[in-house]
């Protein structure tokens, strides 16, 4: 398959890199006058087999490209019902889903394939430890599956008489072996199906409304078409975007040393569903942590990946107020004020799900889904002329 990236070209012995550095920060590494130093070329045997035990290669992490890799398959399906309603409204109800197979996902080929190795040799169950004594990771890509199923509804009003409304609601579920990013890798190589769960970005409910309303006043509107009052009140419009979403799943993890299975992720035990306390900030709990406990040695914790509790919900309102002008010779103008997060609702990140962290159960950061932009209420003013 045409590999989606260039990882395979960085593997020894396909490509060799030389880096020449100065002795210290006050001396140059070399000069163009003297030319580059002679490259240091690794000696590769004629049979192409490199002794991994030499030069520390046996303890180096590798990336292995399987020769039987091939493109995955994506099947999408949907069925929809649409109904026109009075007052120019339209209702859409649809089932939308897809299923992916042979999705190439990162996997540690040298992770322990079973838990409970003897404490005297925790690497015993690493596949490459027995034949080669290798304890370092070997990243490979394996075929997995992903699914998405959703109920999607829309309740829209086409723009007419100064009013436009678009409303959508989605009840969805996305499942995979990783947190929605194939580069994150599978967390439990010793039990692959234990990693089958909701993706890290899966939101059960998502509700969105966008609207635009123009005052019915002004030269081209129904009321007050002439006069000073028409000029003052005409051309005003307000628009906005409302978002309300349920929280993202919390990924609960714990120290994996008691699994005795290197490169496998452990999770704590949990009794029931934790009570949401709702406190925010360092030193206070967003959820009740007393229902969690450490797993016994050589056993998986009972907390399922992304299957115990969701983090804080997300609510936001953005609005724009604008005044439209008309000038002679077809020139038009617009004065507008854009207001982001009008209600100044804090958008908090998920609480820490690391059982062994001192911040376990605490929210110490805000949601970064805004692309790193300030999340608090902000305003922007603009004036535009079109001619």
Tell me the DSSP string of 134-145. --S-EEEEEEEE
Count of alpha carbons within 13 Å of 201, Cβ hemisphere only? 6
Which residues lie below 8 Å from residue 387, measured CB to CB, with a gap of 6+? 329, 330, 331, 332
299 φ/ψ sector (left φ>0, alpha ψ -120 to 50, else beta): beta
**pTM for the model:** 0.81
82 φ/ψ sector (left φ>0, alpha ψ -120 to 50, else beta): beta
DSSP 378: E
Backbone angles phi, psi at 349, to 5 degrees: -75, 170
Task: Please indicate, yes or no, if residue 377 is contained in any of the structural domains.
Answer: yes
One digit per residue, the tens of pLDDT, for the chain of length 387 reads: 555 566 655 555 556 677 888 888 888 888 889 888 888 887 778 887 777 766 667 788 888 888 888 888 999 999 999 999 998 999 999 999 999 999 889 999 999 999 999 989 999 999 999 988 899 999 998 999 999 999 999 999 988 888 999 999 999 999 999 876 556 789 999 999 999 999 999 999 999 999 999 888 766 666 666 666 666 677 889 999 999 999 999 999 999 999 999 999 999 999 999 999 999 999 999 999 999 999 999 999 999 999 999 999 999 999 999 998 877 887 888 999 999 999 999 999 999 999 999 999 999 988 766 555 557 889 999 999 888
Neighbours of 25 (CB within 10 A): 5
Task: Please indicate, yes or no, if residue 298 is contained in any of the structural domains.
Answer: yes
DSSP string, 12-57: TTT--------SSTTS-S--TTT-PPPP------TT----TTGGGG
Q: Which domain holds residue 208?
A: 7-386
Question: Across-strand partners of 241?
Answer: 210, 318
Strands, DSSP E only, in the chain? 62-63, 73-84, 89-108, 138-160, 163-176, 197-198, 205-214, 236-245, 269-270, 292-293, 314-326, 332-340, 378-386
d(CA 104, CA 98): 17
Task: Please indicate, yes or no, if residue 2 is contained in any of the structural domains.
Answer: no
Reading the block at residue 247, the tokens are 């929280």
The total number of structural domains that make up the chain: 1
Task: Please indicate, yes or no, if residue 135 is contained in any of the structural domains.
Answer: yes
Task: Please indicate, yes or no, if residue 353 is contained in any of the structural domains.
Answer: yes
Task: Please indicate, yes or no, if residue 1 is contained in any of the structural domains.
Answer: no
**Contact present, 280 and 363 (Cβ < 8 Å):** yes
Task: Please indicate, yes or no, if residue 196 is contained in any of the structural domains.
Answer: yes
- The alpha-helical segments, DSSP class H, found in 142-287 are 228-233
**Contact present, 218 and 140 (Cβ < 8 Å):** no
Task: Please indicate, yes or no, if residue 218 is contained in any of the structural domains.
Answer: yes
Per-residue exposure over 259-271, b if at least 16 CB sit within 10 Å of its own CB, e if not: bbbbbbbbbbbbe
């Amino acid at each position: 398959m045409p590999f989606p990236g260039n990882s395979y070209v960085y593997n020894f012995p396909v490509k060799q890199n030389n880096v020449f550095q100065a002795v210290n920060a006050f001396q140059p590494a070399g000069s163009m006058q003297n030319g580059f130093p002679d490259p240091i070329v690794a000696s590769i045997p004629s049979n192409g087999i490199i002794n991994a035990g030499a030069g520390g290669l046996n303890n180096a992490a590798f990336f292995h490209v399987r020769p039987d890799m091939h493109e995955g398959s994506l099947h999408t399906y949907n069925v929809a019902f649409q109904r026109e309603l009075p007052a120019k409204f339209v209702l859409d109800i649809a089932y939308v889903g897809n299923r992916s197979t042979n999705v190439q996902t990162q996997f540690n080929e040298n992770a322990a394939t079973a838990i409970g190795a003897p404490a005297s040799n925790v690497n015993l169950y690493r596949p490459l430890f027995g034949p080669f004594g290798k304890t370092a990771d070997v990243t490979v890509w394996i075929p997995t599956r992903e699914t998405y199923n959703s109920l999607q509804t829309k309740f829209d009003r086409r723009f007419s008489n100064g009013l436009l409304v678009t409303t959508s609601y989605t009840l969805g579920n996305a499942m995979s072996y990783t947190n929605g990013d194939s580069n994150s890798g599978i967390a439990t190589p010793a039990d692959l199906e234990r990693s089958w769960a909701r993706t890290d970005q899966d939101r059960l409910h998502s509700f969105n409304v966008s609207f635009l309303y123009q005052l019915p006043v002004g030269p081209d509107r129904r009321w007050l078409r002439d006069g000073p009052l028409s000029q003052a009140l005409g051309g005003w419009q307000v628009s906005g975007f409302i978002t309300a979403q349920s929280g993202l799943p919390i990924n609960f993890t714990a120290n994996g040393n008691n699994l005795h299975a290197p490169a496998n992720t452990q999770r704590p035990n949990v009794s029931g569903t934790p009570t949401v306390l709702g406190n925010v900030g360092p030193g206070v709990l967003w959820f009740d942590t007393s229902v969690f406990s450490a797993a016994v040695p050589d056993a998986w914790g009972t907390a399922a990946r992304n299957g115990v509790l969701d983090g804080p919900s997300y609510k936001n309102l953005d609005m724009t107020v604008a005044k439209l002008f008309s000038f002679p010779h077809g020139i038009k103008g617009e004065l507008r004020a854009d207001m982001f997060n009008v209600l100044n609702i804090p958008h908090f990140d998920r609480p820490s799900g690391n059982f062994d962290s001192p911040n376990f159960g605490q929210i110490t950061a805000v949601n970064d889904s805004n692309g790193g932009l300030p999340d608090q209420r902000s305003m922007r003013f603009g004036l535009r002329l079109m001619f």
